[in-house]
Structures are given as C-alpha cells and as structure tokens.
C-alpha cells in the first residue's frame, strides 16, 4: 500500500472518530494504534507505554495545571469588577468610551489567565450587563469582547504556548516573551478599530457623563494595583530570568490566592471549585498531549511526516505560499476542533515542513496561536462564541457576525508579523538563551 493511500485511510479514520463525538485523546490513540498495528512491525504496547509516560513525565508540563489554577482562582474573584472600576474613569473621553474596557480588561486578564474562554467569561460577566444598561450598541459590545478575549491565547502566560512548547521542544520562557509584542500590537489594532468606528458612528455611542476629578480617578485606579503586581510578579520573574515558567506559575498561584483573600472572595467553596476546575482542565489537556505524543511516534514509524515533507518540498512553495496554505488549513481545522487539539494534532506533521522551509519554530509558534485565535471566533466550534452566547442569550450567528471585524483584524495582525517577523523575535533574542 502506498504512503498516500495510508495517509488517506488514517485521516479518514481520525475525522470519523472526531466526528462521532469520541474524546479527542481516545481518537488520537486509536489512530496511532491503527497506524502502528497495520503498517509497522514495531512493538505496539512497549512504544505506547514508553511514549505516554515520556509525554506525561515532563517538568515543563508542570506549569500547565498551575497557570490553569491561577486563572480559575481569579475567575472566581472580584477581579473583573476591580478592573472595570479602575479602567472606566480614564476612558470616558476616548472615542468608543467604555468599549475600550472590554479590550484593556481582556488584555489584563489574559496576562493572568492563559485561557481565551476564561477571559471572555470573566470580563463579560461584568461588562456585558453594565455596557448594555448604558446603551452601547450590541454588535460592538459583543464583537469587542469576542475578539479581545482571544488575547488569552497569546499574551503570556498562555496555556496553548505551553502545549506548543512541550509538543515541539521549544523554550516555553522564550515563547512567552515572544507573545508580548504581538499581543500589544493586537490590543492597539482592536482599540484603533473601535476609535475609527466610533468617529464614523458618533450617534451610536452613548454620552460619557461628567469627567471625574483627577484625585477620584486615581483613587479608583488603586483597584488595579493588586492585579498589576500579579502580572509583574509572574511575567517579570520569567523575563528577568529569576524563575522558570513552572516556578513563576507557582508564584502566580500563591499571589492569586492572596489577591482573592485580600478582596474577600476566597472561601472554602470557591477554593475547592477552582481546584476541581483546574484539575479537570489539566487532565483533559494532559490526556490529549499523551495521545498526540503517541500518534506522533506512530506516524514516525509509518513514514507519513517524512513523505509529506518531501511532497511539500517537491512543490517548491515559497515560505509565504506555505504559510498562506497553512493559515487556511488551521482556520478550517479550528472550525471543528479546539485550539489545543489543533496544535497537538498537527505539529508532528507540519514541523518537518516548517524546518525544511527555513521558518523559525519559535516565530511559527506565535503564528499558529494567532491563527488559532481566529478559529476561536469562527462557527461552528468557536469557543468564545459559545461563552458569549451563554452570557448574553444572543443567537450564536449574531455573535459570529459581530466578531467578523475582529477576525479580519487578527488576519491583519498575522500579515504584519509575517512581513515584520522581528515583532515576534526581538524580545526573545534580547533575552538570549
């Protein structure tokens, strides 16, 4: 049987299993077992046991449950209320006014969460009722939240960057630092769009009311100090080299618990709920990673990645053409799978092509995350769309329609880092290592 026929059979099996609703991890394991049993002489049981143990027994992976737990603690805290109180007095004179609270609030929570869905839920809990009450247009209210919440995947500490780093053996600390400038660039793009839209539709934005005196604004801004200290403690310790991502995650959990206790939202019930939420999410991701690691090894035995890399090489695509093709591929995959599944499913096959094309794997990690961000706001499986539909009760197609401008802004952001890759690489190169 030719390698092309083998590829088609295994792909068909994978999509059949995923489409049937079987857990992603079980689907990956099943395809790996089928590939090795049918097309390889290697000892299946030994390879599976060794691979799954090796994928699970990774020190870099220890940061994952800690960062997830940190986000869960803050999700149950008064953080979103504090951010709204601290940010809103400074934005009432900016075109778009309190719509910018969605963008800046999501950017700040992204820097302590690592999850796009958690960012959408936490910020949306506070801003949706408040902005709707004040009469802000529904499409912009929903669109800014859906688009800005995707920053949870990119601004460190990002769960998906940890997964990419483990799957491709890249430095997680360098990936975190690489995500900072692209994240800031997207915040500027989103804010700029809101300003332009507001200037073109001035009647749609409700009046801002009287400006608060400077002393009162500064007093309200004090509510932002604890969360800013948390961000500095986590990201600063990684950037300065004082702590590894895993050490910084432990610091983050401790600071998040202290912050939650300080604001009076830490109770026995919220502590246990956060712990259980983090445990479930971490187990799910670790299980998917173990299945993906076994599938990667199984595909190595079948020779498919090498064959595909050779085939792509024979097409003699330029790096730009390859990136364009991969962008479409990832967006289509993201329509049916969550971001973490997309990353772990594809890295084993795509990384040989990337290396052959001479593309920096560190830069490619940020590229992949931005494309996966776009998939977070595309139906039918755009997780941010589901979260916002749950918060608002608005039909998911209306939420998706409101998100289109932010999808296009993410596409512009992607084009910018392709043309100017230094936006991604400058900080990691300054960091060294």
What digits encode the pLDDT tens for the residues 382-430?
A: 778 888 888 888 888 888 899 999 999 999 999 999 999 999 999 998 8
Q: What is the pLDDT of residues 14-45, one digit of tens each?
A: 778 877 778 778 888 898 898 888 777 788 88
Say if residue 232's pLDDT is above 60.
Answer: yes
Q: State the pLDDT at residue 185.
A: 95
**Do 190 and 144 form a contact (C-beta atoms < 8 A)?**
yes
**Do 79 and 113 form a contact (C-beta atoms < 8 A)?**
no
Give the residue numbers spanning the domain of 220: 23-35+42-431
Q: State the pLDDT at residue 186.
A: 95
Say if residue 219's pLDDT is above 60.
Answer: yes
Q: Helices in 61-115 by DSSP H: which ranges?
A: 63-75, 79-91, 99-113
Dist. CA 355–CA 41, nearest whole Å: 28
Q: State the pLDDT at residue 305.
A: 62
Number of domains in the chain: 1
Domain assignment present for 6: no
Judge if pTM exceeds 0.85.
Answer: no
Q: Helices in 169-222 by DSSP H: which ranges?
A: 172-178, 180-200, 214-221
Dist. CA 372–CA 244, nearest whole Å: 26
Domain assignment present for 139: yes
Domain assignment present for 9: no
Q: Is 357 helix (H, G, I), strand (E, B) or coil?
A: coil
In this structure, is the dihedral angle defined by the CA atoms of residues 346, 352, 355 and 357, taken in order, positive or negative? Answer: negative
Which tokens belong to 433?
């290592």
Q: Is 171 left (phi over 0), alpha (psi -120 to 50) or beta?
A: beta
Q: Mean pLDDT in the chain?
A: 83
Q: Is 329 left (phi over 0), alpha (psi -120 to 50) or beta?
A: alpha
Q: State the pLDDT at residue 144.
A: 93
Which of 38-47, 122-131, 166-175, 417-426 is most confident? Answer: 417-426
Q: What is the pLDDT of residues 282-326, one digit of tens each?
A: 888 788 778 877 887 887 777 766 676 667 667 777 888 889 988
Q: State the pLDDT at residue 182.
A: 95
Say if residue 1's pLDDT is above 60.
Answer: no
DSSP classification of residue 61: G
End-to-end CA distance of the chain: 45
Domain assignment present for 10: no
Domain assignment present for 281: yes
Domain assignment present for 1: no
């Amino acid at each position: 049987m030719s390698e092309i026929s083998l590829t088609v059979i295994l792909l068909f099996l994978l999509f059949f299993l995923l489409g049937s609703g079987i857990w992603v991890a079980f689907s990956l394991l099943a395809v790996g077992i089928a590939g090795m049993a049918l097309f390889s002489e290697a000892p299946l049981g030994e390879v599976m046991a060794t691979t799954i143990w090796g994928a699970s027994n990774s020190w870099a992976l220890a940061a994952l449950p800690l960062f997830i737990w940190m986000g869960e603690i803050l999700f149950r805290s008064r953080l979103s209320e504090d951010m709204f109180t601290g940010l809103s007095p400074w934005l009432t004179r900016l075109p778009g006014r309190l719509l910018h609270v969605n963008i800046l609030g999501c950017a700040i929570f992204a820097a302590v969460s690592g999850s796009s869905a958690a960012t959408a839920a936490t910020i949306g809990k506070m801003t949706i009722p408040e902005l709707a009450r004040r009469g802000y247009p529904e499409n912009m209210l929903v669109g800014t939240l859906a688009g800005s919440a995707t920053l949870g995947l990119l601004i460190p500490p990002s769960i998906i960057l940890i997964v990419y780093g483990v799957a491709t053996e890249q430095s997680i600390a360098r990936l975190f630092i690489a995500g900072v400038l692209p994240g800031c660039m997207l915040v500027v793009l989103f804010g700029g769009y809101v300003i332009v839209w507001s200037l073109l539709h001035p009647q749609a934005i409700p009046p801002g009311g009287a400006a608060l005196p400077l002393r009162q604004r500064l007093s309200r801004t004090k509510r932002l100090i604890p969360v800013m200290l948390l961000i500095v403690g986590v990201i600063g310790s990684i950037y300065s080299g004082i702590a590894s991502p895993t050490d910084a995650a432990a610091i983050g959990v401790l600071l998040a618990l202290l912050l939650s206790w300080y604001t009076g939202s830490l109770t026995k019930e919220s502590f246990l709920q956060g712990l259980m939420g983090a445990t479930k999410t971490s187990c799910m991701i670790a299980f998917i990673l173990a299945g993906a690691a076994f599938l990667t090894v199984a595909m190595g035995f079948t020779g498919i990645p090498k064959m595909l890399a050779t085939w792509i090489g024979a097409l003699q695509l330029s790096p730009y053409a390859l990136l364009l093709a991969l962008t479409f591929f990832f967006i289509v995959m993201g329509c049916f799978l969550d971001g973490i599944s997309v990353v772990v499913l594809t890295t084993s096959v795509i990384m040989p092509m990337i290396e052959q094309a001479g593309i920096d794997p560190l830069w490619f990690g940020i590229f992949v995350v931005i494309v996966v961000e776009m998939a977070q706001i595309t139906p039918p499986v755009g997780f941010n769309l589901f979260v916002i539909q749950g918060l608002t009760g608005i039909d998911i197609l209306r939420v998706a329609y409101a998100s289109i401008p932010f999808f296009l802004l993410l596409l512009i952001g992607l084009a910018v880092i392709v043309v100017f890759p230094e936006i991604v690489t400058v900080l990691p190169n300054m960091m060294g290592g």
